[in-house]
Structure 1
C-alpha cells in the first residue's frame, strides 16, 4: 500500500505541474487536459473516459489546421510530421459513428492527411474523397456490390436504411465485421484505388500511413519509428495476416508504406488493373487484395506485430490466462514499442488523444519519444482500473461462483492471491481472472480490479533486454 500511496502523491504532483505549464504556455481551451488522477471515482459515473471533451467547432467554421498559432498542440511540429501522410478510410454506413471524433482530435496533429469514403462530399470543412472513383466505370454502373454506391451517389447518405448503418458500439458482432452489410461489400474495392489517389495527391512525401476510422495511432511514437527506416527503400509494414497463403497487412491495425513502395504498387496497378479487379471480385478482403499487389510489384512485407495491434488497448494480453508471463513467442509485447490499436470507438479515441497530448507535453527531454507496451500499461491502463465500472466487462473468465453482491465478488477475488480482477453478471455470477484486462463496454456486467496487484505485476515482470522496433 505504501508504494501505491507514493505513486498517488507523485501523480498528483505531476498533474499540478502540467496544469501550471498548460496555463502559462498554451492558454487555450483546446488544452484542457488536466484531469483527476483517479478518473471515474463515482460509481454513478463508471466510464473510464474523462468528462472533459475535445473542442467541438461549429459546423460552419473551418476546423483549425496545423500551424494555426491559436490552436497549437503538443503534437504539432513533431520532427518528421511534414514528411508523412495519414490516410483515413471510412464508409457511409459507419461515417457518423466513427469519423467526426477524428476531426476534433487526431487530424489536428497531422499536417497532411486524406479522408476516403464511398461518397464524395464536404463535411465539417473536410473534403471526403470517393475512394471508388478509379474503379472501372462498368463495375460501378452494374456490379451488385455497387448497388449501395449507386444509391448514395444519387441521394447522399440519406439513402441508407437503418439496418445498413454500422451497429452500435459494443455489439460483439461489430468486432469481426459485417459481411452482410452493403458497406462491407463495397469496402474491398477501395484499397488499391485509394492508394493510387493518395500517390497522385502526395507523390513526394516519404511515408504513407493507412488507417481506418476505428484505428488509433500514437502519433509521436509513429514518427519515431519512421525515423529508423529509409523511405527510398520499398517498405510495406503491417500486422501480419494471411488468407489462402497470401500474406498482407491488416487494414484495421494500420499499415505503413514508403515512397518507393507506393510508386512500385501504383505502377503495378496501372499495368494490371483489369486483373486486379477480377481478383477483387472473387475475394472478400480488400487488404488482402492490396497485399497481393504489393508482393507482385516486388515490395517485401515486414511483419509489424506487436508494434501494430489488431485490437482495443483494453484487451492486449500481456500475461497468460494463469497469470504467467506470455511465453513460447520470440516477441514479448510487453517490451516492444506500441503504435496502433484497432476497434476503438469514438469516446476512447478522444480519451487516447488527450492522454497522448499530456504525454507529449510533459515527457522528459531524455525520454525515447515513444511508448512501449509496459509504459502504456502503467501510464494509461492501470489508472483506468482504479474504480469499479458498471456496464463494463473486464473479460474475467475464471473461477466462476454465484454470490449475492458485488462486494461478495470482490472479497472472493481478494482471498485468492493470484486474482487480479473480477466481474459480476446478471444472476449473481461472479468471475475472476489472473490476467489483467481493462476490457470494454458491455450491458449488465459490473467489473472491478485489484489495483495494488496490477502494480505488483508491473513491477515484477521480467526485465526487457534489447528489444527494438521489430
Structure 2
C-alpha cells in the first residue's frame, strides 16, 4: 500500500516541473520578441538585430545562381589589393564573389599563397632600379625580406579604399605603392589571359553586381576598343576611377599593353611625379588611341547607402533626359567585408528568382526598392543615415522621431545623444556606420516617394 501513493506523488511532482518549464519558456519567448512589446505606431520601426548570414541558394545541380550567366567564361575579373588592407578585405571575397568568376586574378604588393589562392605581386615588373632604390618601395622591400611581419600597426590604418581620403593617403606606405600597380597589373593580366573578351578591374572594397555587369558586356563588341569607367579628372586628364571598377575590351587591352611596352620608361617617370595610378592608366589609354566612355551612374564611387537614388545630387549624364534612377546598377565602392557578403547574398537570391537568359537586370530603382528600403525597416544604433536638411535640439531619440513624424515631408531622422542634435531629411538615404548616432526612417513615406517616381521605360546601358 505504501509503494503506490509514493509513485503517484512522484508523477505529480514531475508534471508540476514540466508545467513550470513550459510557462517559463512562454514568458522568455514573449519577453525576447521585440514585436510583442513594440510601442511604435508604425510597426516598422522596432529595433532588431542584423540577420545572421545564411548560405546562398544553390541551383538543383549544386551550382550558384551566378555561375551560369552567359558571357562569364569570356570575362576576367581582376582584384587589386595591398598588404596593408589584405586581411580585412580580401578573405570575404574568396568566400563570396570569386565563387562566381570562372576567371579571376588577385594582385597585391606582395606575392604569396593565401590558403591555396595565388596572390600576384603587381610590382615585380617595375624597373629593378626603382624597386631597389625608390623611397616609395620601402614597404615593398621590407615585405620581400620579412613577409607580413614587416607591417607596423600604424601602416594598417587609412589603407587604400578609405572613403575619407579622396586624394589618397600619400603618407601611407600602401598608397605610395598603389600608384605603381596599374599598368604592370594590366600587362600581366593580358599575359595570363590573352584571349578573353572582357577584363574588369576592381578593388577589394568594390562590389560588382555580376549578373547586371554581364548583361551590359553582352551589349558591347569586344573587338572594338572599349575603356569604360566612372569619370574622374586630374589636371585635365580624364580617367576611370579605380575603386568604382572599370571595364576594358580585348582590343583596348592589346592597344594599351603595346603602348606600355613602347613607352615603359616615360610612363614610369610620369608615375613617379603623380599620385593616382588610375589617372596614370587613363593617360596611357588615351595616348594609345583608346577612347574613354563615361559610365556614371552605372558604376558608382560610393557605398550603396550613400547613393542619392532620388535626388538631383551627383554627376550629370550625357543625356539629361536619362534619369540615374532608371540606369542599371553595376558597382559600388567603399564596402567593408560585411557589406560585400550582404550584397552577394542579396544578388544570389535575386538571380535565383530570374531566368538567367532573360534580359532582366538590376536598375538603381530596383536596388532602392529591393535592397535599400528593407534596410530601413528598423531604427539603427551607431548608424548615420546622412540626414542634414533640418537640424534642431531635442531631448532624446524618441522626441526626434516625433518631430519627423509631425513634419509631413520628413522621411528620416537621426540623433546624436552627446550633442542632443536631431537631424531630419526630405530625401532618402540609408547611410552607413557612424559611432554614437541613432537613425530612423518612416517606411511608408519611403515607399510613397519611390512609388511616385515615373516608371522606367527603355532606359538601358550607356
Q: Select the residue among 402, 420, 434 that pairs with 1:428.
A: 420
Instruction: Determine helix, strand or coil for the equivalent of 2:65.
Output: coil
Instruction: Determine helix, strand or coil for the equivalent of 2:248.
Output: strand
Look up the match of 2:280. Answer: 289
- Residue 138 (1) aligns with residue 138 (2): no
The alpha carbon displacement at 1:463 in A equals: 2.7
The alpha carbon displacement at 1:43 in A equals: 2.6
Distance in 2 (alpha carbons) for counterparts of 1:216 and 1:432 = 29
- Residue 437 (1) aligns with residue 429 (2): yes
Instruction: Determine helix, strand or coil for the equivalent of 1:390.
Output: strand
The alpha carbon displacement at 1:332 in A equals: 1.9
- Residue 456 (1) aligns with residue 443 (2): no
Distance in 2 (alpha carbons) for counterparts of 1:178 and 1:281 = 16
Look up the match of 2:26. Answer: none
The alpha carbon displacement at 1:272 in A equals: 0.4
Q: Select the residue among 124, 139, 146 that pairs with 1:148.
A: 139
Instruction: Determine helix, strand or coil for the equivalent of 2:105.
Output: strand
The alpha carbon displacement at 1:177 in A equals: 3.5
Distance in 2 (alpha carbons) for counterparts of 1:114 and 1:297 = 24
**Could you say if the C-alpha distance between residues 96 and 53 of structure 1 is closer, same or farther in structure 2, counting changes exceeding 3 Å?**
farther
Look up the match of 2:258. Answer: 267
Q: Select the residue among 40, 47, 62 that pairs with 1:43.
A: 47
Q: Select the residue among 250, 274, 278 that pairs with 2:241.
A: 250
Q: Equivalences for 1:51-450 in 2 at 5 Å?
A: 51-53=52-54, 72-167=63-158, 173=164, 177-320=168-311, 329-363=320-354, 368-426=359-417, 427-450=419-442
Instruction: Determine helix, strand or coil for the equivalent of 2:360.
Output: coil
The alpha carbon displacement at 1:53 in A equals: 4.9
Question: Contact 1:335–1:464 at 8 Å: present in 2 too?
Answer: yes
Question: Contact 1:78–1:220 at 8 Å: present in 2 too?
Answer: yes
Distance in 2 (alpha carbons) for counterparts of 1:81 and 1:70 = 18
Look up the match of 1:4. Answer: none
The alpha carbon displacement at 1:125 in A equals: 1.4
Distance in 2 (alpha carbons) for counterparts of 1:261 and 1:170 = 26
The alpha carbon displacement at 1:42 in A equals: 6.2
The alpha carbon displacement at 1:318 in A equals: 2.4
The alpha carbon displacement at 1:180 in A equals: 1.4
Question: Contact 2:163–2:334 at 8 Å: present in 1 too?
Answer: no
When the two chains are superposed, the root-mean-square deviation of aligned CA atoms in Å is 2.5
- Structure 1, gaps ≥5 residues long: 1-39, 56-66
Question: Contact 1:169–1:345 at 8 Å: present in 2 too?
Answer: no
Distance in 2 (alpha carbons) for counterparts of 1:220 and 1:154 = 42
**Could you say if the C-alpha distance between residues 218 and 316 of structure 1 is closer, same or farther in structure 2, counting changes exceeding 3 Å?**
same
The count of residues paired between Structure 1 and Structure 2 equals 415
Question: Contact 1:238–1:304 at 8 Å: present in 2 too?
Answer: yes
Look up the match of 2:4. Answer: none
The alpha carbon displacement at 1:41 in A equals: 7.9
Instruction: Determine helix, strand or coil for the equivalent of 2:436.
Output: strand
Distance in 1 (alpha carbons) for counterparts of 2:277 and 2:408 = 47
Question: Contact 2:231–2:239 at 8 Å: present in 1 too?
Answer: yes
Q: Which has the higher Rg, Structure 1 or Structure 2?
A: 2
The alpha carbon displacement at 1:467 in A equals: 1.7
The alpha carbon displacement at 1:168 in A equals: 8.8
**Post-superposition CA distance 1:34-65 (Å, at most 9, x none):** xxxxxx986362x4xx312559xxxxxxxxxx
Q: Equivalences for 1:6-17 in 2 at 5 Å?
A: none
Distance in 1 (alpha carbons) for counterparts of 2:232 and 2:369 = 29
The alpha carbon displacement at 1:171 in A equals: 7.5
TM-score normalised by structure 2 residue count:
0.85
**Post-superposition CA distance 1:74-97 (Å, at most 9, x none):** 111211000000000000010011
Distance in 2 (alpha carbons) for counterparts of 1:69 and 1:124 = 29
Instruction: Determine helix, strand or coil for the equivalent of 2:279.
Output: helix
Question: Contact 2:227–2:246 at 8 Å: present in 1 too?
Answer: yes
**Could you say if the C-alpha distance between residues 421 and 176 of structure 1 is closer, same or farther in structure 2, counting changes exceeding 3 Å?**
farther
**Post-superposition CA distance 1:128-166 (Å, at most 9, x none):** 000001100000000000000000111112101100003
**Could you say if the C-alpha distance between residues 75 and 204 of structure 1 is closer, same or farther in structure 2, counting changes exceeding 3 Å?**
same
The alpha carbon displacement at 1:192 in A equals: 0.1
Instruction: Determine helix, strand or coil for the equivalent of 1:411.
Output: helix
Question: Contact 1:240–1:249 at 8 Å: present in 2 too?
Answer: yes
